Amino acid sequence: MDGPALIARIAEALERLAPAASSEPDFAAAEAFTWHPAGRRVVAVPRVSRVGMGLLKGIDRVRDLLVDNTERFARGLPANNALLWGARGMGKSSLVKAVHAAVNASHGEGALKLVEIHREDIESLPDLMALMRVAPYRFILFCDDLSFEAEDTSYKSLKAVLEGGIEGRPDNVVFYATSNRRHLMARDMMENERATAINPGEAVEEKVSLSDRFGLWLGFHRCSQDEYLAMVTGYVSHYRIPLRGEELEREALEWATTRGARSGRVAWQYVQDLAGRMGVKLIER
């Protein structure tokens, strides 16, 4: 085989081995997406798993604050990154998805895009931001259950992207995160930093400064018995499950007692069990 033919074959083989060029994401394909760092892919979500705003009980104040912030962002006005923190199962992630749907409904379908990034992919945030920065849409970038453990330095990538980097957060992106921790760090992680650092105050300040990147802190606290029963009643009425009054209350309270907690998640789990026992399909109305 002569030299030019050999070179051509080698070039073809290298082209086959090379990774396929990543194409620009089609953000017009859906209202919600998930981010996959491998190949820099943004995958459309045809149907978002969400509950209606009216079914979220006991969180009126934080609901109104997040709606107002998101409405301003949708209109092109300044808005804050938001950290929804607090008790498990009280509707933090459900509220983010419900607010996205409600604001889109009032501003026209597709006004806002919801893009979810998983906690373990935080270090790839600059790549995702680069794709969204040049897109002709406004984005809610959403990370559910965000927290950091000892020896985890990926929080530095988040700090830089949110506020501290050269480029910073794009004007068409707002970052919403949920966490069980107010400062996103485990308490023992912060105490260890304080105990081992040359300057303990500065070490802890660096950890706490991550949550300072969120201008809006929304606290979620454990619900009362009345709020829990209101959640159950709201679901039962919405899905037209034929159980009311004292029997419903007794069953719902017994269910919460066996779970050792009262929350929106526990209420929903009870309603799922109740609907199954009574042969009612949970179809959105």
What is the C-alpha separation between 75 and 64, in angstroms, rounded?
17
Mean pLDDT of the chain: 84
pLDDT cut 70: percent of the chain above it: 78
What is the C-alpha separation between 68 and 104, in angstroms, rounded?
13
Q: Which CATH architecture has domain 27-220?
A: 3-Layer(aba) Sandwich (3.40)
pLDDT of the residue at 197: 47
- pLDDT higher than 80, residue 179: yes
pLDDT of the residue at 152: 65
Most confident of 18-32, 141-155, 232-246: 232-246
pLDDT of the residue at 153: 67
Quick: pLDDT tens for 197-243. 444 444 455 556 677 788 899 999 999 999 999 999 999 999 999 99
- pLDDT higher than 70, residue 267: yes
pLDDT cut 90: percent of the chain above it: 54
pLDDT of the residue at 19: 47
Please tell me which residue, 158 or 18, carries the higher pLDDT value: 158
Tell me the pLDDT band of 95, cut-offs 50, 70 and 90. Answer: very high
pTM above threshold 0.85 = no
**Contacts for 106 with CB less than 8 Å, ≥ 6 apart:** 71
Structure-block tokens of residue 168: 């910073």
pLDDT of the residue at 190: 47
Q: Which sequence spans correspond to the domains of the chain?
A: 27-220, 225-278
